[in-house]
Amino acid sequence: MMSDRSDTLSWHDDALAVTGTNSDRAGSSQQPAGVDNAIPSASSRAVRASHRMNPGDVLSVAVHKLRTTGFDRGSEIEIATGLCDCIKRALGTFIYSDGSFWSFFETHWHPVEPERLRLLIHVLDGATIGDGGRRAKQVNLSSRTIDGILREMRVSVSAPGFFDAAAEGIPARNGLITFSRDGVVQMTSHAPEHRCRFIIEADFNLDTPMEPPADSLLYRLLQGAFQGDDDAAAKTKLVAEILGAAAAGVATSLPQPKGFVLFGPTARNGKSSIASLIPAMLPPGATATISPAAMSDERRLIHLAGKAANIADELGGAAVAGENLKACITGEPVTGRELHRSASTFRPRALHVFTTNALPHFAGGLDRGLQRRLIVLPFRRSVPESEIIPNIAARIARDELDLLLGFAVSGAQRLARQRRYTVPPSSREAMIEWLNIEPVQEWASAHLETGLTEKDRERWPLTRELYQDFAAWALKEGYKEGRIPPVNTFSQRLSAIEGIELRRQSYGREAIGARLKAPSVLY
């Protein structure tokens, strides 16, 4: 059964381990958390395990002790350092990474709500500054001062890149599922060193089914979506691998990272239900919903930090920021920012899945790099009304989460062995169709021979000559004159076609490897 527990650390979680709340006067030297000292030793974890209290009680006692002790100078830096020291003693771990504060509890690292930290700082309002004599001052907090304290707290416990070294494996409720290079499945107990930021609320055992039984909802969903397809088995394998890559955090570490476009032009084809399996399997907070078009917005992009998957319900026909999309798919560093916050650079690890009824155009054309990074999964069947099960993904999450986890494990196991995704033949065909949607690609597939060598030609055509043929074709095909790509854009898209290389000469730019087809071949 799926838990409705929030993944954000709140004051009402189960007991948290503490080592005590006694502290020296605030302002003592505090080293930044960093990657090395963010994880407690096994001995310190064992000590904390014997002292369990509600986290609200723990932090209340610790912060009130800090308020009673007072401060030497009452500066933002001293208050921030003292508060970080209190929280680390109370929770055992406390870091700032990927734009959020984090603490490890039992199975994984939880984000600490910034609103809760502000409330902790409120407790310190009126704390004594100095030796407590008649002329002693008091801490006088304002919203601006609190913002400054939070800013210094981020510096004090900063651990940049901490989660970049997260263990690869599927975090089940009863342990981390890992895979050897030959696909052997192993289980290990949860630990801070794994740097996991979520768990799937289901147990996995070696006897957990890794293929959905024929009487399960999961089986009926997969059968309904791919029934009658020649490559239905390959499509089912790919769905398992998508789930496994997202859950295991390996989407960006495979030799050839991929994003996925679930494409189905008809109604009731199952693509949305298949896509919904990902957020059904993962806990709240582990997924994002950011379209490629929104990836050029730093305020949206920051929400990919720490996510296992990104699922956009509809891709639509809007232009997308191709370079940002490629960076997010491959896990290259990107920069985002929260509103009114400084920029934060992070490596996204999310697996990207987009659903669409119509394959979109890409700004600048679907270049070769993006072609290599996308797999189209076509959904050709309209599921009859009599076969439709309302809210099937939610029901699978509620009643068959262990089966869904086992199915994901089978996909991750296969990825561990073959180090690449299973690509169904229909996916390759769909990609070719997509390329032909772009006008230059469509014209080239009909009008050009490509991949030619020196012996195949008398001279290479110039791009301006090819453009004349393209423009005449585009007008004949019904493209409005103002919508036809200009010659410079045409050249850029031409260079993205496999088997063509553009070379500048004194008399113009040659299209090496290309030749216009003879009119008798065209018509």
Quickly state the pLDDT bin for 226 (edges 50, 70, 90).
very high
Mean pLDDT of the chain: 85
Instruction: Give the pLDDT confidence score for residue 365 in this predicted structure.
Output: 54
CA–centroid distance for 453 within its chain: 42
Identify the band that residue 24 occupies on the pLDDT scale cut at 50, 70 and 90: very low
Determine how β-strand 351-356 pairs with β-strand 344-346: unpaired
Residue of 408, 383, 492 lying closest to 171 (CA atoms): 408
Query: Is this structure's pTM higher than 0.85?
Result: no
How would residue 6 be classed by pLDDT, with cut points 50, 70 and 90?
very low
Distance from C-alpha of 396 to C-alpha of 235, rounded to nearest angstrom: 19
Q: 112: which strand partners?
A: 9, 101
Q: Which of 48, 154, 19 is nearest to 97 (CA)?
A: 154
Q: Give the whole-angstrom CA distance, residue 523 versus residue 84.
A: 75
Average pLDDT over residues 141-147: 96
Three-state DSSP state, 47: helix
CA contacts within 13 A on the Cβ side of 419: 7
pLDDT of 48: 46
Which tokens go with 518?
């003879």
Q: Quick check: do 170-433 and 438-522 share a fold?
A: no
The average pLDDT across 215-244 equals 97
For 420, the token pair is: 């690449």
Residue 26 has pLDDT above 70, yes or no: no
Which residues share a beta bridge with 309? 287, 351
Bridge partner residues of 129 (DSSP): 71, 137
Cα separation values, 123 from 45, 119, 140, 146, 410, Å: 28, 7, 11, 11, 50
Q: Examine the pLDDT at 169 and tell me if it is beyond 50.
A: yes
Does pLDDT of 495 surpass 70?
Answer: yes
pLDDT at 208 exceeding the cut of 50: yes
In this predicted structure, which of 112-126, 187-201, 304-318, 395-409 has the lowest mean pLDDT? 304-318
The domain limits of the chain are: 16-165, 170-433, 438-522
CATH number corresponding to 438-522: 1.10.10.10
Q: What is the pLDDT of residues 316-371, one digit of tens each?
A: 444 454 678 889 999 999 999 887 777 888 999 999 999 988 777 554 556 677 78
Give me 290's structure tokens: 């950011």
170-433 is classed CATH 3.40.50.300: yes
Kindly state the tokens that stand for 130: 């100095």
pLDDT for the residue 52 = 52
Determine whether 36 is exposed, middle or buried from the number of CB atoms within 10 Å of its CB (0-12, 13-18, 19+).
exposed
Give the closest residue to 327 by CA, choosing from 307, 301, 306. 301
